[in-house]
């Protein structure tokens, strides 16, 4: 793929996140893929798991908006820094735990690294700044 095509794929993925469209995002995944988040005990290997993961974020932050703040693209990979804003009005799933809503707004950041093959994501690895987000939610001592 060309760098422009990888950028377009990534733009569609970010638009799906921003619009809370789990089906549009998972349609960008290859038939065989891995999706991992540093907070999850295991990688997700089917679309239903990824949709459930995304719905967890949208439940915790129903007004979530997401945007790319920095991005590096090659012919088969993308690495990006992202920022999201939202108000924690729903329960937040962190690993195997569910934390009650705080009602607090956050500006969260994170990074992701994705590999692309034949126009689809084959690997997607997410690294949210959990400590920063938890501090803003009042769930970290001293923050």
Measured CA to CA, the distance from residue 106 to residue 90 in angstroms comes to 13
Q: What is the architecture, at CATH level 2, of domain 3-136?
A: Roll (3.10)
pLDDT tens profile 62-98: 999 999 999 999 999 999 999 999 999 999 987 778 8
What is the model's pTM?
0.91
Per-residue pLDDT at 142: 60
Any idea where the domains of the chain sit in the sequence? 3-136
Measured CA to CA, the distance from residue 20 to residue 117 in angstroms comes to 24
Measured CA to CA, the distance from residue 78 to residue 92 in angstroms comes to 28
Per-residue pLDDT at 39: 86
């Amino acid at each position: 793929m060309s760098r422009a095509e990888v950028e377009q794929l990534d733009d569609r993925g970010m638009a799906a996140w921003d619009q809370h469209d789990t089906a549009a995002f998972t349609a960008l995944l290859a038939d065989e893929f891995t999706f991992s988040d540093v907070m999850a005990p295991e990688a997700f290997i089917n679309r239903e798991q990824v949709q459930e993961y995304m719905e967890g974020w949208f439940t915790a932050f129903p007004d979530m908006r997401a945007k790319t703040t920095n991005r590096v693209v090659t012919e088969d990979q993308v690495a990006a820094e992202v920022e999201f804003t939202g108000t924690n009005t729903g329960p937040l799933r962190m690993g195997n735990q569910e934390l009650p809503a705080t009602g607090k707004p956050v500006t969260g950041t994170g990074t992701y690294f994705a590999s692309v093959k034949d126009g689809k994501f084959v690997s997607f690895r997410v690294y949210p700044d959990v400590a920063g987000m938890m501090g803003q939610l009042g769930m970290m001592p001293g923050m």
